[in-house]
Structure 1
């Protein structure tokens, strides 16, 4: 970061976009700054602070929940509205997100912007069918599965920024589970598994299975989800879904864990998460 020569605090979205498009050199947005401080990118020339743009909000209408990109993780953790989704799954994720000090600085937009494989918020957003609103010269809305590039990273263009995340309220009818393996509760994920499920007439009507830190980007496993839809969950069926997950992920070995370890954790956590979702419906019916 020693090459940074300019720090801008635009008052409008238009001004921020103009800076990203016209300012010479390599720039990056900053809100909480928790990623930038850790990454220490030596190629950055300037920063654009978006804290004055009114992007820290949490709203709803009859169909969706709207999260401003600059909303802090701690705000989401304490939100009853977010806790209403998938039996509190998103709130559970937030409780595993670093420390309270970091949650009070880190923003949801900053956490998802680069599409990092171990970003804790992305698997839950995948499991909630989130949409990402991007603003550049025009505004575009992309499903989060399309927001992530298969080879890694996101589809954000250099002159764009995330303004909002949208979540369908149908998942207020869902049960959910978030499980994370890490060296400490506050550390980066070795593996995370998120599941959501809607059950109707004792059969799985909607299923989502998403994992972090097992591929270049966080991933959903549609084949495992399809194996559950229309079925009454049994231990055998849950085992089958976990087998599919294990077959379709391709984790790497690094200093945090081996590929084999990650596969085994993904398998075990998928089974636990699916069982937890099903039991929440059974106990409430």
Structure 2
């Protein structure tokens, strides 16, 4: 483990001040499941942070709160396990609950934070994929006040988000689901506790048999989690018949740019991505 100075702020204003003072030389740690690994196995020693700022003693950030009119609020210290303990998440945001259920191991779920999964900016993030399909905003706190970024604008590139060096991510806000909303999440892995080699989440707003609105997100097929807007267009305004699902599945290959890595090949991902999407849509609609 490299040497660093550990900072332990006692409040959000103190944490923001430390970020403003130390800028890009500081890494924020909540659960630490990614930060500690990154520090220990970094291949670029020159880019290691001088400071690690732990949120351990910052109060008021470990919450998962649901309001039918305002939606779901998830604090910066809320863990993946906290999502699973929320009946509101299971009822109203099923894709996110499904993603949390298969997230890593029990020990990691008890420590890893939901916002940390977003800020890691990994294309394989399970919670990230589900949240992208749901939509919402991430709130940052800086010296100038609170700033909210739409999840559609959140991921910039691999490992990079819209967070500025002097900002603290404090909250995720998901909108309340409209009537007729259905969602689901699925993934493929080498083993159940491994990172995904492909994951997909969908959120559909249905009026009878017709899809009125669709959000489709897929992971492990681009440098960041990817929203498949052309595929969404194949679903909107149509009854989700077998033919429509087949056209949507076929559209996926034109939107993704997978690579070969140690978990899978680009060709495999390209071949099965549409199939996994079709199965996820059927799952969201309650069709076996």
TM-score bracket relative to the smaller structure: over 0.9
Tell me the CA shift for residue 171 of structure 1.
5.2
Which of 252, 267, 281 does residue 274 from structure 1 map onto? 281
Aligned counterpart, 1:3: 3
Q: Identify which range, 56-65 or 29-38, moves more after superposition.
A: 56-65
Report SS of the residue matched to 1:247.
coil
Which of 236, 241, 245 does residue 238 from structure 1 map onto? 245
| Structure 2: stretches of 5+ with no match in the other structure | none
Aligned counterpart, 1:205: 212
Tell me the CA shift for residue 232 of structure 1.
0.5
| 8 Å contact from structure 1 (residues 85, 172) kept in 2 | no
Tell me the CA shift for residue 24 of structure 1.
7.5
Aligned counterpart, 1:128: 134
Report SS of the residue matched to 1:113.
helix
After superposition, give the CA deviation of every residue in 1:179-230 in whole Å (9 maximum; x if it has no partner). 1111111111101011111211321112111001110000111111111111
| 8 Å contact from structure 1 (residues 245, 267) kept in 2 | yes
| Structure 1: stretches of 5+ with no match in the other structure | none
Taking the TM superposition and a 5 Å limit, the aligned residue runs for 1:84-95 are 84-86=91-93, 88-95=94-101
1:104 matches 2:103: no
State how far apart, in whole Å, the 2-side matches of 1:58 and 1:148 are: 23
Instruction: State the TM-score, normalizing by the size of structure 1.
Output: 0.93
Aligned counterpart, 1:247: 254
Tell me the CA shift for residue 260 of structure 1.
0.5
State how far apart, in whole Å, the 2-side matches of 1:109 and 1:276 are: 26
Instruction: State the TM-score, normalizing by the size of structure 2.
Output: 0.92
Report SS of the residue matched to 1:170.
coil
Report SS of the residue matched to 1:121.
helix
| 8 Å contact from structure 1 (residues 96, 185) kept in 2 | yes
Number of aligned residues: 279
Tell me the CA shift for residue 172 of structure 1.
7.0
| 8 Å contact from structure 1 (residues 72, 107) kept in 2 | yes
Report SS of the residue matched to 1:165.
strand
State how far apart, in whole Å, the 1-side matches of 2:78 and 2:2 are: 28
What RMSD over aligned residues (CA atoms) do the two structures have, in Å?
1.8
Taking the TM superposition and a 5 Å limit, the aligned residue runs for 1:1-285 are 1-4=1-4, 6-23=5-22, 26-40=25-39, 41=42, 42=45, 43-53=48-58, 54-61=60-67, 62-86=69-93, 88-137=94-143, 138-150=145-157, 153-170=160-177, 173-279=180-286
| 8 Å contact from structure 1 (residues 85, 171) kept in 2 | no
